[in-house]
Structure 1
Amino acid sequence: MTRNHDLRPARLSPRDVLRVGAVGLRARRARVVLSALGIAIGIATMVAVVGLSESSRADLMSRLDRLGTNLLTAEAAEDARGGGTIKLPKNAVAMVERIGPVRHATDTAEVDARIRRSDVVPEERTAGVTAQAARTDLLSTLGGRVARGTWLTRAGERLPTAVLGTVAADRLGITRPGETIMMNDTRVAVVGILEPVELVPTLDRVVMVGFPAATRYFGFDGRPTTIFERSSDASVEDVRAVLARTVSPGNETGVRVSRPSDALAARAAADKGLTTLMLGLGAVALLVGGVGVANTMVISVLERRQEIGLRRSLGATRNAIRLQFLTESLLLSALGGVVGALLGAAATYSFARVQGWTAVVPPWSLAGGLAATLLIGVVAGLYPAIRAARLHPTVALNAT
C-alpha cells in the first residue's frame, strides 16, 4: 500500500537566492556597471557634501575655540545727535578695564597718513591701505600671529617702524621685514608681516605703528577708534550691556559694540544652508540612478523570458522568480551604494587634506547612503520582479 505525500514546492535558501541573483548580474557586466554608476554618483555626492560640510564646520569650530568667543569690540560710530563720528576719550581703555569681569583691554586708532611704496611714487597714488596706531598687547588680545619678522616692541613703538597686515604687505609689494615704506614724508621700516587676523579681518589691510610713534611723526591726537576687550565667557553679555556707556558716558548711541566671533558663527550657519542645497542635488542624482536600475531590470525581464519560462516549467514558483529579480535589483543598487560611499569618503579625505582640515565623515551619512540605495533597489526592482513572476511558462518559452 502506497502512502500519498503532499507535494510542496522547494524553497530557496538565502544563499541560493544570492547566488541566483548574482548570476544574472555577472551575465551582463557592462550594463550592470553603467547602472550602478548612477547610484554611485548620487551616493558619492551626498557623502562628500556631508563630509566636506562637517569637516569645514569642525575646522571653523576649532578655530573659534582657539580664538575664543569672548572678544568684544567697541567702535566709534556716527553721533545720533549729528556732528559726524564721535571722539572716544583717550583713557577709554582704562575705563573699560574697571569693569569687573574684564580680563584685558586694548585699542587701535586711525592715523592720518598716506601710504606709498617709496618716495618716487606720487603722493596721490596710494596703495589702497590705511594706517592705524596699535598697542604692543594687541596681537595677544586678538589671538593673531606674525608670519615674518616681529611684532611691535616697547622700544619699537616709539620709532618709525611698522607691522603690515597680510593684504597690506601684498599691495605694497613687501615680501620680508627690513624693507621700507613711506608714510606721508616719513620713511618707515617694516619689522613684521602678520598672518590673516581671523577675528578682525580689517587689520589685514592696515599698516600699524605704535601709539607714541603715531603721535610723534604723524600728528596723532591719542584718541582711540576701536576698543578690544576680553572677559570671561559667562560674563560676555553682561559686559556687552555696559560697554558702550563705559567707553562714552552720556553718548552711548555713538558707540557700536559687536562680537567678532559672531561673523564666524554666521558663516557656519551659511555653510549648513549650502549643504542642504547640495544634498538636494545629490538626491536628484540618486533618483536618476534609481531610474537607471529600474530600466535595467525591466529590460532584463524582457530579454530573459525564456529563462523564466524554463525555471517555471521546472517547478520554480512565482515567489521564487519574484525574489530572484528583486535580489538582482538589490545587489545592483548595493554595488552602486558601496562604491559611491567609498568614493565620497575618499573625496572628503582628499579635499580636507588639501585644505588642512581634519577630515570628518559622519557614520550616519554612510549608513544613510547605503540604506537609501537598498530602498531604491526595492522600489526599482519591485515592478520588474512582479512582471517576471506573472509570465506564464508556456508564453515565456515560446518568446523569441
Structure 2
Amino acid sequence: MAEPRHRGGAAALDLVTEAVEAVRGRRLRSALTLLGVAFGILALVATVGLTGSAAAQVSARFDALKATRISVEGFSGAAGAPIDTATGLRGPVIGPDALERARRLNGVVAAGTVALAGDPLPRAGRPGDRVPSAAVETQVMAADPDALRALRIRPVSGRLYDPVHQDLRHRVLLLGDVAARNLGLNPADHSIADGRTVIHLAGRPYLLLGIVTTADFDSQAQLSAIVPEWVARDPTSKISFQEPKVVVQTRPGAARQVGTEAKVALDPAQPDQLVAQVPPDPERLRAGVETDTRTLFLVMAAVSLLISAIGIGNTTLVAVLERRHEIGLRRAIGASRRSILVQFLLESGVLGLLGGVAGTIGGLDLTIAISLARGWTAAISPWLLVVGPLLGLTVGLVAGVYPAAKAARMEPVAALAT
C-alpha cells in the first residue's frame, strides 16, 4: 500500500522537495555534474546566438566583396595586327566601338582592356641604381583608364593616368604597392610620386605617376608595373604581352547577366568564340559558409551534452548505490516502485534543469560580450531562453532513466541486507 503522502498534488510536491534536498545534500558532486550540463548548453546557446549575430556581418562582408567583376577572353590577333604607319602602333585587337557597346550594357559600371606581360618578365629599376641586381623582374600590366576603374585600382600616393596619357602616348607608369616595395620604394612616401621619379622598364624610361593598390584579392595589380594600353601595341616597348582581355565591373547581382551579354556586345559576329569568366554565386557561397560553421559548432555542443548526460547518469547511479538502505526502507514501509523511479528521475532532472538555466545564461552573456567586442549587434532568438533550460531538463531526465529504473527494481530485503 502506497504512502498517503505520495498521493495527489501534495505527493508530487513532496517528491520535488526531496529531489531538491538530495541535490543540495551532495553539493560538490552536484555542482560538478551541473557544470557539465551548463557547458554543453552554453556551447549550444552561444553557437546559435553567435551564428545569428554573425550572419548579418557575414552577409555584409559578402555583399561588400560580392563578385562583381568578370573577364572576357578569347580574343586573337594581337601579334598579327597590322602596324599603323602614322602612329607606329599595332591596331587594337578589341576596338573602341566594341568596348563602348559593353559599357552601355545594363549593370555595367566600367569596362576596359588589360594585357599582361608574358615570359620573360621585363626588369624594372630606378636610374640611380648602380647594382645590376637592383633591377628586378616585374609583372607588367597594360591597361586603359577604364580598366583601372574596373579593377578598382586606387592610388596610395600620386595619381592614376587618364585618357590624355593614353591618347597622347605618354610613357607613364603606375606601381602596385607590393611591386614598389620590391624596387625599394616606400608606398607611403608621397614625395616619390611627385612627377619626377623615373622607372626603367625593359630598358625604356617611364615617369612614375603613382603607387596604387586594389581591394580585389585575385588582381595582379599590386604586384605589377601598370602602363597605358598603347604600350602593349608598341613594337618598340621591348615587352612581349599576352592576348588582351576585357575586364568588366558590374553592379551587385548583375555579373551573370552581363557575362552572357558582354560576349555578344564585344563580338556580335562570333560571340561563342569568347569565354566569359563569371565568378561563383556569392549567395550560395555565403549560405554554405554559414551552414558549415553552424554545423561544426552544433556537433561540438552535442558531444558536450552527451558527455554531460553520461556524467549525470553516473552521478545518479552512484547516488542510488549509496542510498540502498534508504531505498529499501522506503520500499519496506510501502513506497511503490513508481515513486522511487520518479524520485530519482526528478533528481537527475533537477540537475539537468539547473545546468540548462546556468548554461543558457552563460551562453547569452558570452554572445553579448563577443558581439560587443566585435562591434556587432547581438541577435538572440527569444526561443533560446526556453529551449536551453528545457534541453537541460531533457538531458537530465534521459540520463537518469537507467539509475532510476535500477533503484525502482531493488527489493526491500535485498536493499536492507547489503
TM-score of Structure 1 vs Structure 2, range by shorter chain? 0.7 to 0.9
Q: Which amino acid letter does the alignment assign opposite residue 33 of structure 2?
A: S
After superposition, the Cα gap between the structure-2 partners of 1:236 and 1:331, relative to the gap in structure 1 and judged at 3 Å, is: same
TM-score (norm 1): 0.73
Aligned to 1:160: 172
Deviation, 1:243, is 1.7
Aligned partners of 1:49 and 1:275 also within 8 Å: yes
After superposition, the Cα gap between the structure-2 partners of 1:117 and 1:322, relative to the gap in structure 1 and judged at 3 Å, is: farther
Alignment of 1:275-294 (within 5 A): 275-294=294-313
Deviation, 1:294, is 0.8
Aligned to 1:74: 71
Q: 1:106 aligns with which of 100, 111, 129?
A: 111
After superposition, the Cα gap between the structure-2 partners of 1:390 and 1:361, relative to the gap in structure 1 and judged at 3 Å, is: same
Q: Supply the distance in 2 between the matched residues of 1:343 and 1:88 (Cα, whole angstroms).
A: 65
After superposition, the Cα gap between the structure-2 partners of 1:29 and 1:36, relative to the gap in structure 1 and judged at 3 Å, is: same
Aligned to 2:400: 381
Deviations 1:152-202 (A, max 9, x none): 26488867352636x6567667451424794625466474554633xx532
Residue 326 in structure 1 maps to residue 364 in structure 2: no
Deviation, 1:43, is 3.1
Deviation, 1:380, is 0.8
Aligned to 2:21: 23
Alignment of 1:57-72 (within 5 A): 57-66=55-64, 71-72=68-69
After superposition, the Cα gap between the structure-2 partners of 1:255 and 1:45, relative to the gap in structure 1 and judged at 3 Å, is: farther
Q: Which amino acid letter does the alignment assign opposite residue 405 of structure 2?
A: I
Residue 230 in structure 1 maps to residue 255 in structure 2: no
Aligned partners of 1:334 and 1:373 also within 8 Å: yes
Q: Supply the distance in 2 between the matched residues of 1:255 and 1:324 (Cα, whole angstroms).
A: 77
Aligned to 2:89: none
Q: Supply the distance in 2 between the matched residues of 1:39 and 1:172 (Cα, whole angstroms).
A: 59
Q: Which amino acid letter does the alignment assign opposite residue 109 of structure 1?
A: V
Residue 201 in structure 1 maps to residue 226 in structure 2: no
Aligned partners of 1:72 and 1:240 also within 8 Å: no
TM-score (norm 2): 0.70
Residue 96 in structure 1 maps to residue 89 in structure 2: no
Residue 176 in structure 1 maps to residue 188 in structure 2: yes
Aligned to 1:135: 145
Aligned partners of 1:105 and 1:230 also within 8 Å: yes
Aligned partners of 1:116 and 1:182 also within 8 Å: yes
Q: Supply the distance in 1 between the matched residues of 2:123 and 2:389 (Cα, whole angstroms).
A: 59
Deviations 1:222-276 (A, max 9, x none): 985232142685x765443322132234443443324436257425414423532
Deviation, 1:398, is 4.4
Q: Secondary structure at the match of 2:143?
A: strand
Give 5+ residue unaligned stretches, structure 1: 1-5
Aligned partners of 2:102 and 2:262 also within 8 Å: yes
Deviations 1:92-145 (A, max 9, x none): 42121343x245332251343747575446277436x55352536855x66x58
Q: Supply the distance in 2 between the matched residues of 1:195 and 1:15 (Cα, whole angstroms).
A: 70
Aligned partners of 2:69 and 2:278 also within 8 Å: yes
Aligned to 1:42: 40
Deviation, 1:13, is 5.9
Q: Supply the distance in 2 between the matched residues of 1:8 and 1:16 (Cα, whole angstroms).
A: 8
Q: Which amino acid letter does the alignment assign opposite residue 162 of structure 1?
A: L
Q: Supply the distance in 2 between the matched residues of 1:147 and 1:378 (Cα, whole angstroms).
A: 65
Q: Secondary structure at the match of 2:71?
A: strand
After superposition, the Cα gap between the structure-2 partners of 1:230 and 1:163, relative to the gap in structure 1 and judged at 3 Å, is: same
Q: Mean alpha-carbon deviation: is it higher for 150-159 or for 324-333?
A: 150-159
After superposition, the Cα gap between the structure-2 partners of 1:383 and 1:243, relative to the gap in structure 1 and judged at 3 Å, is: same
Q: Which amino acid letter does the alignment assign opposite residue 76 of structure 1?
A: E
Aligned partners of 1:111 and 1:214 also within 8 Å: no
Q: Secondary structure at the match of 1:201?
A: coil
Sequence identity percentage: 28
- CA RMSD between the two structures: 4.4
Q: Mean alpha-carbon deviation: is it higher for 264-273 or for 362-371?
A: 362-371
Aligned partners of 1:108 and 1:225 also within 8 Å: yes
Q: Secondary structure at the match of 2:70?
A: strand
Aligned to 1:295: 314
Aligned partners of 1:88 and 1:225 also within 8 Å: no
Aligned to 1:122: 133
Q: Secondary structure at the match of 1:202?
A: coil
Q: Secondary structure at the match of 2:400?
A: helix
Q: Mean alpha-carbon deviation: is it higher for 18-27 or for 53-62?
A: 53-62
After superposition, the Cα gap between the structure-2 partners of 1:189 and 1:239, relative to the gap in structure 1 and judged at 3 Å, is: closer
After superposition, the Cα gap between the structure-2 partners of 1:226 and 1:97, relative to the gap in structure 1 and judged at 3 Å, is: closer
Deviations 1:305-359 (A, max 9, x none): 2333444556654443322211211121223333334444455555556666555
Deviation, 1:298, is 0.8
Deviation, 1:206, is 3.8
Q: Mean alpha-carbon deviation: is it higher for 335-344 or for 25-34?
A: 335-344
Aligned partners of 2:110 and 2:146 also within 8 Å: no
Residue 262 in structure 1 maps to residue 274 in structure 2: no
Q: Which amino acid letter does the alignment assign opposite residue 89 of structure 1?
A: I
Count of aligned pairs between the two proteins = 379
Q: Supply the distance in 2 between the matched residues of 1:172 and 1:53 (Cα, whole angstroms).
A: 44
After superposition, the Cα gap between the structure-2 partners of 1:338 and 1:376, relative to the gap in structure 1 and judged at 3 Å, is: same
Q: Which amino acid letter does the alignment assign opposite residue 306 of structure 1?
A: H
Residue 252 in structure 1 maps to residue 271 in structure 2: yes
Aligned partners of 1:148 and 1:177 also within 8 Å: no
